[in-house]
Structure 1
Amino acid sequence: MKVLFAAAEGSPFVKTGGLADVIGALPKALIAQGVDARIMLPKYKTIPERYVSAMRFVGHTEVPVGWRSAYCGLFELEHEGVTWYFLDSEYYFGARDGSLYGHYDDGERFAFFNRAVLQLLPLADFQPDLIHAHDWHAGMIAPLLTRHYRHDPFYARIRTIYTIHNLRYQGVFPYSILDELLGLDAGYFHPDRLEFNGGVSFMKGGIVYADCVTTVSRTYADEIRTPYFGEGLDGALRARGYALTGIVNGIDEESYNPAADTCLAHNYRTGLTKKLANKGALQRELGLRRSNKTPLIGMVTRMTAQKGLDLIAHVLHELMAQDDVQLVVLGSGEPHYEGLFGATAQHYADKLAVYIGFDECLARRIYAGSDLFLMPSQFEPCGLSQMIAMRYGSVPIVRETGGLKDTVLAYEEDTGEGNGFTFANYNAHDMLYTIRRAASLYRQPEHWKRIVASAQRGDYSWRESASRYKELYGQVLS
């Protein structure tokens, strides 16, 4: 079984979020199960030189972009047993500094990317049985395959799967992109096809035209069929019916391994002794009061409304003033959230530490040094942080939505079952009550040891999810 992943980013080469982690880890898990999984992504200027210098030039071709054509080169690199293809266009991807997305011509850039993925396959000497496209950046591969390539015997039997990582980001562009860049006629501009609120939606292209649609947790697959979570595409998703399924993401357990993580002050496998030593080291590093009796809550997050930061803003002073807890926050995003945490930290210097920005090693030390990990998301397609936290023995506090609901089971004192703490309503004081309950159980060793052990022994790897994807691939191909 031959599968090509098409995505805008992939770890370790280029990363802005969880999508890159999935692209970096899932193909490896599939290869371990006998699938020939390869990956194609743009060759950005930001890819580190140590990887660029190791790439092999395969060749080049011309890619149709509406009425004209544009040069596209192909590079290949084998990394950790996986073949990666890099689509080379200096104009669209090589000469850009800063962020991967948000440029004035993103519609043109990713129209080119979608067409180039298909155009380059013969040059790569790789004829996949299936193309697995990810998020809006690759959403037009399925309709382009249907319109421009099915007549060619090389492409005639290729099937497509489309995965939604976050429905909120849809890649909607003006009507003119349809013919001028994608070479699609006006018949595609229809509510049952690509039209969305007067524009052309790349996300909708994948939803409507792929042979199968997946998303990154079972609960999110149900949620996005409803108007509240559906971001205007719930009708299109309901129309796919049986062809939409949810498969929860995993994490790379080799990378996220507290027994071997070089970022930590003390390595450990299970238990609390070495974990408490990491807690003390983190408190010292961030200027917090040294105490094993005070529960330390960690957050590693994008500072956006999606992550539930409005709930925290509503009760942050109440939590800091009244409760014997400490809070460590790492992240960046919307300025008013950054300002809120920064200003509040000045009032509670021994209880609240804030780092605006991102530091991979500090993130791992927070996972290892925190007792609790807070994720009160408004919505969360899957979430990886709660699984990483449990792998490091930090017990999650989450709102019951999307992948958080699928991976975190509320602790029951009577039975001892559960690996975390949950609340259902998007309500600040429901969250605060749950934090206080978690802090109370932290001070009860017989319960706390049981919760931490349950969190640490969970299987958060890609093995089971890769098996489900392999089974789904077989169903689509049959």
Structure 2
Amino acid sequence: MNILFAASEIFPYAKTGGLADVAHALPESLRDEGQKVYTVMPLYNQVDREKYEIIYNGLTFDYWLFGVRHQFDIFENKNNRDELFIYNPVLCDRWGLYNDDFGDFGDNALRFGLFSYAVLEVMIRLKLKIDVVHVNDWQTSLIPLLMKTRYKLKQKTVLTIHNLAYQGIFPKKVMDELEIDWKSCFKFDGLEYFDNVNFLKAGISFSDSITTVSKTYAQEIQTPAFGETLDETLRVNSYKLKGIVNGISTEVFSPSKDKFIDKNFSIDEYGGKLENKINLCKELGLKDDKRALFIFVGRFTSQKGVDLILDAISLFKTYEANFVILGSGEDIYNHSFGSLVGVYDNIHIKIGYDEAFSRKLYASADFLLMPSLFEPCGLNQMIAMEYGVLPLVSKTGGLKDTVTDFTDIKDIENSSLGLGITFDEYNLFWFNHALAKAFSLYGNKDKFERISKHNMGVDNSWIHSAKEYLNLYKS
């Protein structure tokens, strides 16, 4: 089977979140299953062409939209010609993928509309024999619409919704700018959305199949509480909606191979984990490395539960435990966490994205804090388990599907589930109740280590997910 996988970001070339990790790991896993998979993404100006050996493949073409000529140059990875990149100045010449320090660029509808057209033009001009076109999130959601209306293509289309909160909503004037047919497309079962256009809604309506990144989230988004005003559209299309839990790349995230950490370790050579913790505490000036070490790694947004963490800081400072917080995001949260940098001797805060430092945290930590308000899937909890960390999570979306409370499992060694601490109600009382359970478990060193080693042995790889996608493609 030949698959074209289109995404606005793919690790390691460009990354703002979990989409990039998925867009790297899923195609690789499908290739491991014997499938032919082409990936395509924009060649943003921040992509290091020399480092990744990205070269021009000889194809340049013009495309006219609304009386304007747009030129596209096509590149490929020298070492994997199935990895394709599209360069266009409007799309790629920005200091950021979707926005800069001042907010949305203002022409994202045009940028990713152009990308959608270009993906199909590349498929046609390179004469790629494709069976399934797999698109991701709002940035590529126009592709199924264009295939069915403008191009009249017959390939099957699959849309994956990684986070329903981001939909690509724009003024309806983009209908003309992108030459989208009003009659067949600007309607309820198209991209019409409260007298605007909604790219993700178009993808939902025109795709043959829809997936989202966990089974629980697939159910949640059909309700008003989690549906982000698209719950009715999703209920109408529920017959083609399926939840498939993401996986992680166990080659990238492997404590036995990770080049970012001080001491590699495994289930059989577990002592290396303690060495990492001792070194990290010394590096950060955290006292008493025998204390429980809690970490947070992620974006500073309300979705990730950072309001609970901020509310709990006054308690964190009193606990005989160490806390390390790494992340960045919305200005209000950057400022709130920034004002706490260096204030408490048991709380270390670093603002920004730092892949190497995040690996050190996973390799050293005892518990991962992930009290999300909602979580489509989440990758951090699975990465953490790979490094022997116990996730402390709210019971929502993919967290509910991948983390089971340790008190619900009697036979730890024979469980196929990842174990941690969960809480149902999103409030400070139950968050602190979960923290109390973590302290109690940490005090039982033998049991804690058994669960830590158990989590390292849980299979969170893409193998199972890739097989589910393959079955979906074939159906």
Q: TM-score range with shorter-chain normalisation?
A: over 0.9
Contact 2:49–2:55 at 8 Å: present in 1 too? Answer: no
CA distance in 2, matches of 1:276, 1:342: 29
Contact 1:319–1:432 at 8 Å: present in 2 too? Answer: no
Q: Which moves more between the two structures, 215-224 or 172-181?
A: 172-181
CA distance in 2, matches of 1:82, 1:279: 41
Contact 1:395–1:419 at 8 Å: present in 2 too? Answer: yes
Contact 1:218–1:248 at 8 Å: present in 2 too? Answer: yes
CA distance in 2, matches of 1:411, 1:396: 10
1:451 aligned partner: 451
The CA deviation at 1:429 is: 1.4
CA distance in 2, matches of 1:184, 1:116: 18
1:471 aligned partner: 471
CA distance in 1, matches of 2:408, 2:287: 30
CA distance in 2, matches of 1:265, 1:188: 55
2:277 aligned partner: 279
Q: Deviations over 1:106-157 (max 9, x none)?
A: 111111111111112122231211100000000000111111111xxxx3x3
Contact 2:160–2:212 at 8 Å: present in 1 too? Answer: yes
**Is 1:362 aligned with 2:357?**
yes
The CA deviation at 1:446 is: 2.6
CA distance in 2, matches of 1:307, 1:342: 17
1:34 aligned partner: 34
Q: Deviations over 1:88-117 (max 9, x none)?
A: 212331x22234442111111111111111
**Is 1:333 aligned with 2:332?**
no
Match of 1:347 among 335, 343, 349: 343
Task: With the length of structure 2 as denominator, give the TM-score of the two structures.
Answer: 0.94
CA distance in 2, matches of 1:202, 1:368: 39
**Is 1:24 aligned with 2:24?**
yes
Residue type at the aligned position of 2:375: E
What SS is found at the alignment partner of 1:203?
Answer: helix
Contact 1:379–1:401 at 8 Å: present in 2 too? Answer: yes
The CA deviation at 1:319 is: 2.8
What SS is found at the alignment partner of 1:451?
Answer: helix
Q: Give unpaired runs (5+ residues) of structure 2.
A: 413-417
What SS is found at the alignment partner of 2:383?
Answer: helix
**Where in structure 2 are the equivalents of 1:199-214 lying within 5 Å?**
199-214=196-211
CA distance in 1, matches of 2:150, 2:224: 33
Contact 2:60–2:73 at 8 Å: present in 1 too? Answer: yes
1:163 aligned partner: 160
2:90 aligned partner: 91
Displaced runs of 4+ in structure 1, greater than 4 A? Answer: none
Contact 1:14–1:47 at 8 Å: present in 2 too? Answer: yes
**Where in structure 2 are the equivalents of 1:15-94 lying within 5 Å?**
15-51=15-51, 53-79=53-79, 83-93=82-92
Q: Which moves more between the two structures, 114-123 or 52-61?
A: 52-61
Q: Which moves more between the two structures, 233-242 or 97-106?
A: 97-106
**Where in structure 2 are the equivalents of 1:12-411 lying within 5 Å?**
12-51=12-51, 53-79=53-79, 83-93=82-92, 95-101=93-99, 102-150=104-152, 155=153, 157-270=154-267, 272-292=270-290, 294-321=291-318, 323-349=319-345, 351-411=346-406
Contact 1:132–1:161 at 8 Å: present in 2 too? Answer: yes
Aligned residues: 465
Q: Deviations over 1:295-350 (max 9, x none)?
A: 000111101111001111222202322x211110011112332333333343312x
What SS is found at the alignment partner of 1:412?
Answer: helix
CA distance in 1, matches of 2:353, 2:242: 33
Q: Deviations over 1:222-246 (max 9, x none)?
A: 1100001000000111111220001
The CA deviation at 1:276 is: 1.0
The CA deviation at 1:66 is: 3.3
Residue type at the aligned position of 1:403: G
CA distance in 2, matches of 1:307, 1:179: 37
Residue type at the aligned position of 1:232: T
CA distance in 2, matches of 1:19, 1:130: 19
Contact 1:299–1:328 at 8 Å: present in 2 too? Answer: yes
Contact 2:325–2:348 at 8 Å: present in 1 too? Answer: yes
1:6 aligned partner: 6
CA distance in 1, matches of 2:453, 2:235: 40
CA distance in 2, matches of 1:92, 1:242: 34
> Cα RMSD (Å) of the superposition?
1.6
CA distance in 2, matches of 1:103, 1:133: 22
What SS is found at the alignment partner of 1:15?
Answer: coil
Q: Deviations over 1:393-446 (max 9, x none)?
A: 111000011111111011027714461110011111101110111111111023
Q: Which moves more between the two structures, 370-379 or 328-337?
A: 328-337
The CA deviation at 1:219 is: 0.7
Change (3 A) 1:145 1:420: same
CA distance in 2, matches of 1:440, 1:182: 61
The CA deviation at 1:38 is: 0.9
Residue type at the aligned position of 1:426: Y
The CA deviation at 1:186 is: 4.0
The CA deviation at 1:77 is: 1.8
Contact 1:315–1:429 at 8 Å: present in 2 too? Answer: no
CA distance in 2, matches of 1:414, 1:133: 38
CA distance in 1, matches of 2:426, 2:328: 22
What SS is found at the alignment partner of 1:471?
Answer: helix
Residue type at the aligned position of 2:404: L
What SS is found at the alignment partner of 2:50?
Answer: helix
**Where in structure 2 are the equivalents of 1:411-430 lying within 5 Å?**
411-412=406-407, 415-417=410-412, 419-430=419-430
Contact 2:404–2:419 at 8 Å: present in 1 too? Answer: yes
Change (3 A) 1:71 1:339: closer
CA distance in 2, matches of 1:71, 1:345: 47
CA distance in 1, matches of 2:244, 2:179: 31
CA distance in 2, matches of 1:174, 1:341: 35
CA distance in 1, matches of 2:299, 2:35: 34
What SS is found at the alignment partner of 1:346?
Answer: coil
